A = this chain, B = another copy of it.
Amino acid sequence: MPQMREFFVKTTQQLQVIDITPKVREIVAQDGSDDGLCCVFVPHATAAVAINENADPNIGEDLQDALAKLVPEGIWRHDRIDDNAAAHIKAAILGPSETVPVKKGKLVLGTWQSIMLMEFDGPRERRVIVQITASLEG
């Protein structure tokens, strides 16, 4: 019977990309589910989960740069309250989760796909939740 699992990641920079694929794969392997869906979710409003290539780590940096160009800092309503509105907006655009198919107990990721924690307001300790839902035989 699958159960929710979680782990923690310490980010060290304001903007950072951390490849969490190995940890998610480990949880999926331990879970024992055959076919199903794996949801990787961060319970945070200034971080997100994205999937893309990490073989060239420049891509994560490029994604951070692109979002920084699209959502400049310091010009938003929320900045008068807490100086991190851009981080919230970027997190909302990317979204807090990715859902990945599981087949024969393994994540079905493409060769060039990694699961990445996107930090937009670090350094912080971030919690990552992994929930696998399999269709068990009745």
- A residues engaging B (CB < 8 A)? 1-4, 33, 35-37, 39, 41-45, 50-53, 56, 58-59, 61-63, 65-66, 70-71, 76-78, 80-82, 85, 88-89, 91-103, 108-113, 127, 129, 131-138
Contacts and interface: CB of A to CB of B under 8 A. Distances in A.
Nearest to A103: B4
B101 A98 contact: no
24 contacts: A1-B137, A4-B35, A4-B101, A41-B99, A42-B110, A43-B113, A45-B59, A51-B96, A56-B78, A58-B85, A59-B92, A62-B85, A66-B71, A70-B70, A92-B94, A93-B93, A95-B98, A97-B99, A102-B131, A108-B131, A132-B135, A135-B135, A135-B136, A136-B137
Dominant secondary structure at the A interface: mixed
Copies in the complex: 3
Contact of A36 (B50, B56, B133): B133
A100 B41 contact: yes
